[in-house]
Structure 1
Amino acid sequence: MDRAEATTSQQEGGLRRDLSGRQVGMIAIGGAIGTGLFLGSGLAINMAGPAVIIAYVLAAFAALGLAYAMCEMIVVHPEAGGFGAVAHRYLGSFAGFVQRWIYWFAQVVNIGSEVVAAGLYMQFWYPQLPLWIPVVGFSVIMLAVNAAAVKFFGEFEYWFAMIKVVTIIVFIALGFTYIFFGLPGQEATGFGALTEYDGFLPNGVGAVWLAMTVVTFSYLGTEAIALTASESRDPRRDVPRAARGLVLRLGLFYVLGMLAVVSIVPWNQVSTEEDVMQSPFVRLFDTVGIPAAAGVMNFVILSAALSAMNTNLYITSRMTYSLAKDGFAPRWFTVLSANGTPRRALLISALGLGLAAAVAVGSPDTAFPMLLGIALFGALVTWLIILASHLAFRRTRTAQGLPDSPVRLPGAPVTTVLAMLFVAAVLLTTPFTEQFSVAWQAGVPFLLLVCLAYVLVMRSRSRRS
């Protein structure tokens, strides 16, 4: 890409390039690390035992391949809409439409679940507080942050996400100190717990693969980095650096964090309950003697939920803006505020947030699992389309004799195909897990509905033209 092409691409859409490199990197962390590491990881451990470490390593390689493939394309096309705009360019309008809308819905559901979770965490301190009060309060605050200039949003998210990062680093440091040297009043545990409780593979290899669905879900959000390209000061430098740093941090955080957990706590004693008191983080902090460990951990988990919510609101508003730019959403959503923020696009994300939160509170045992199933299905389909876009990107640029991207996925297209097979296998495994069996039941009909919507939109555009 020559300098003129880069300049034109970087000015696309009118969004302001005010995000610094450190902000881009931390926004990616904020979107990828929610409450799953602090609470949800117990589910994967109970399924696979100590061998869950293998699952986290394999999923980290798949996420790394996705990140490199995505950055290879985004540094050439740093456009609003990120990977959705790239899919439109190289796979056609149908792929661009389906990918962006199904991803938008997935993230809106995630936002709704995170804000409800944040409200529940507030009840840890105030049990009598009606849930709707913190849900509405946090929604208003996060919407106000996203409505501000993107530079303010980036700085806010940088420090919000930093809370999670510091907590994880402290946990890993304390965990390995406990393992190798012991703690005051506690002897070193060593790594005996990895094999002492029915072995390293207590439930067999099949259980490790089933746990892969939960583990892969932990890495979802890696793709969020692509949405910052259109507002990064230097996407050629910042996006690849942030993506590499993101996957490296995720891999280290999850792999080392899980290694510490299963080395200290017998795997069959790790709870799967979404209860702060059951968190392995709380157990270790209690052992160390940190005052009010459960209260401290609740604050960290609350900040994790709000950080993920904040980043996902940013993602959905930019995705809506991109769809409107391509004529797949009302043009009304392309209007920018005086500070360069697509507030109208944020408005529809706020509506989706409200609906998802209402369903989560009003129907937590029936309707909301269906929404989460659609979200998981949509996120994995998004990964598949990103990787398919990469194959088309490589093929097109080679055929046209265009220069290589400054960032390249090593071993592609073989590594691209291997990553696609991995994601497809995980998606096909979801019906066989109790937690995610609803993904196909809800996801396939929703995908067909999105495809039908594309046909109707194209017919409407044809009649108008």
Structure 2
Amino acid sequence: MLSNPKGQLQPGLKQRQINMIAIGGVIGAGLFVGSGAVIGEVGPGAFLAYAMTGIVVIMVMRMLGELAAAHPSTGSFSDYARMALGDWAGFTVAWLYWYFWVMVVGFEAVAGAGILQVWLPEVPLWILSLGLLLLMTATNLYSVHSFGEFEYWFAGIKVLTICVFILLGTLYIIGLWPGHAMDLSNLSPPGGLFPNGGSALFSGIVVAIFSMVGAEVATIAAAETADPERAVIRATRSVVIRVLLFNIGSVFLLTAILPWDSHVPGVSPFVAAFERMGIGWAGDLMNAVVFTAILSCLNSGLFTASRMLFVLAGRREAPHKLIAVSKRGVPVRAILASSLIGYLGAVMAYVSPETVFLFLLNSSGAIILFVYLMIAVSQLVLRPRIPPERLRVKMWFHPVLTLLTMAAMAAILLAMAFKNDTRSQLILGLVSVGIVLLAYLCRRRAVSRGRLVSGHRTI
């Protein structure tokens, strides 16, 4: 039942939940599965691809943390883009980010259903996908606290798994594992760190960056805590160790344990590494962990998409009725609308996997890089406007590192243009940007003619 048609979210998240959302945000299902493809393409130097990617993510999170600590907001970087560059930027970033996550929701529902079919082979894929979507929709609809609690435990399982792997993997490579002497030979094969050439490093970065998407969700969720500023500061300051330990550390151990050319498509390199260490039951365990990571992505994706839609509705840049919230302070209509698109994406994966669904997936692929680039531009513009007493978090060596980070992201986008399997993502991503900008221009024209009520800036 909707009790607040004006729309006011409630601070139902706890600090521990925000901390775990931030930690789990950099451990996606892509790390557990996609890291094998990066290692197979780059070689033993794959950990350097993750290191360079991690540096970009750390810089973006630091910039976002500076802005979010000064102005905590549910709209987060879409509001900062609006403040820095105008309404067109806020409109574009919010809609692109919403589109990215609803596509992720549909994709992850299908991926999760695929894992469930290992244990439930008789159940059709579409029924399992629908079941997962309904579960996460119900979780988000009940209360923001239930979202946070689910995410706390989902992220906790991911973190525990990575920590166990890092501990056991370290013992294995330094020779403290039963029956295994110290051996780092996999790091120096005949072809060196980059047997496929140095250019493969940049190809690996393009793939690796998508496995770290999600760290920024904590800045959106922090607005629904009792102390948003403190929540943002703590989440931002811990991002360095999270990226270094969980992503770079685990991939380094994978390259030390396994020959770089032993990757089997569709098989998690973590499973192969555990099996190399003699832990034969690791396959079922890792399937369960990957399934948990997918549920975490579904959960946070639906939350994030609904909050972006809620912010757009509040500015009358989406149907204004979507701003209504329940007695528990949950934006019910925004959640249901975002869920519906996720359902449609899952249906397309079943009905037309090689055409419509592939088009939708590719068209959202490069969007996160555009969003990150806008975060950097916003920080560059807004930094001089922030009062010194509000700078609780500061971007290091501003503006030099900001400009270098922007250059790095531009280089990644350029690398996508030269990589056969990512070129379509870049092109369709640019098409998506163009469509949203066209929608903004049409809306502005309608507003100027008095057909629509314009939104207003609140920050």
Q: TM-score range by the shorter chain?
A: over 0.9
* Range with greater deviation from structure 2 (420-429 or 29-38): 29-38
Matched residue type, 1:420: M
Question: Which residue number corresponds to residue 242 of structure 2?
Answer: 249
* Range with greater deviation from structure 2 (170-179 or 371-380): 371-380
CA RMSD, Structure 1 to Structure 2 (Å): 1.7
Matched residue type, 1:422: A
Question: Which residue number corresponds to residue 109 of structure 1?
Answer: 103
Unaligned runs of 5+ in 2: 1-5, 454-459
Matched residue type, 1:280: P
Matched residue type, 2:220: L
**Using a 3 Å threshold, how does the CA distance of structure 1 residues 188 and 270 change in structure 2: closer, same or farther?**
farther
Conserved 8 A contact 1:25-1:243: no
Aligned length: 446
Deviations 1:380-423, CA, capped at 9 Å, x for gaps: 100011111101111333xxx66451110110111111111111
| Alignment counterpart, residue 28 of structure 1, candidates 9, 22, 25 | 22
**Using a 3 Å threshold, how does the CA distance of structure 1 residues 34 and 94 change in structure 2: closer, same or farther?**
same
Matched residue type, 1:438: S
Instruction: Give the deviation of 1:20 after TM superposition.
Output: 1.6
Question: Which residue number corresponds to residue 252 of structure 2?
Answer: 259
Deviations 1:233-255, CA, capped at 9 Å, x for gaps: 21221112112323421221111
Matches within 5 A, 1:164-313: 164-184=158-178, 186-271=179-264, 273-274=265-266, 278-290=267-279, 292-313=281-302
Question: Which residue number corresponds to residue 93 of structure 1?
Answer: 87
Question: Which residue number corresponds to residue 416 of structure 1?
Answer: 402
Q: Helix, strand or coil for the counterpart of 1:347? A: helix
Question: Which residue number corresponds to residue 438 of structure 1?
Answer: 424
Question: Which residue number corresponds to residue 369 of structure 1?
Answer: 358
- TM-score calculated relative to the size of structure 2: 0.93
Conserved 8 A contact 2:27-2:246: no
Question: Which residue number corresponds to residue 457 of structure 2?
Answer: none
Unaligned runs of 5+ in 1: 1-11
Question: Which residue number corresponds to residue 359 of structure 1?
Answer: 348
Conserved 8 A contact 2:67-2:80: yes
Instruction: Give the deviation of 1:289 after TM superposition.
Output: 4.3
Conserved 8 A contact 1:33-1:308: no
Instruction: Give the deviation of 1:42 after TM superposition.
Output: 1.1
**Using a 3 Å threshold, how does the CA distance of structure 1 residues 246 and 359 change in structure 2: closer, same or farther?**
farther
Measured in 1, the distance between the counterparts of 2:48 and 2:191 equals 17
Measured in 1, the distance between the counterparts of 2:421 and 2:29 equals 16
Measured in 2, the distance between the counterparts of 1:367 and 1:182 equals 51
- TM-score calculated relative to the size of structure 1: 0.92
**Using a 3 Å threshold, how does the CA distance of structure 1 residues 283 and 402 change in structure 2: closer, same or farther?**
closer
**Using a 3 Å threshold, how does the CA distance of structure 1 residues 247 and 373 change in structure 2: closer, same or farther?**
farther
* Range with greater deviation from structure 2 (225-234 or 61-70): 225-234
Measured in 1, the distance between the counterparts of 2:310 and 2:446 equals 20
Measured in 2, the distance between the counterparts of 1:321 and 1:381 equals 21
Conserved 8 A contact 2:126-2:346: no
Measured in 1, the distance between the counterparts of 2:412 and 2:397 equals 22
Conserved 8 A contact 1:48-1:203: yes
Matches within 5 A, 1:328-367: 328-367=317-356
* Range with greater deviation from structure 2 (334-343 or 173-182): 173-182
Instruction: Give the deviation of 1:280 after TM superposition.
Output: 1.9
Matches within 5 A, 1:389-404: 389-397=378-386, 403-404=389-390
Tell me the percent identity: 38
Measured in 2, the distance between the counterparts of 1:170 and 1:207 equals 30
Question: Which residue number corresponds to residue 127 of structure 1?
Answer: 121
Instruction: Give the deviation of 1:92 after TM superposition.
Output: 0.7
Conserved 8 A contact 1:194-1:263: yes
Q: Helix, strand or coil for the counterpart of 1:16? A: coil
**Using a 3 Å threshold, how does the CA distance of structure 1 residues 371 and 188 change in structure 2: closer, same or farther?**
farther
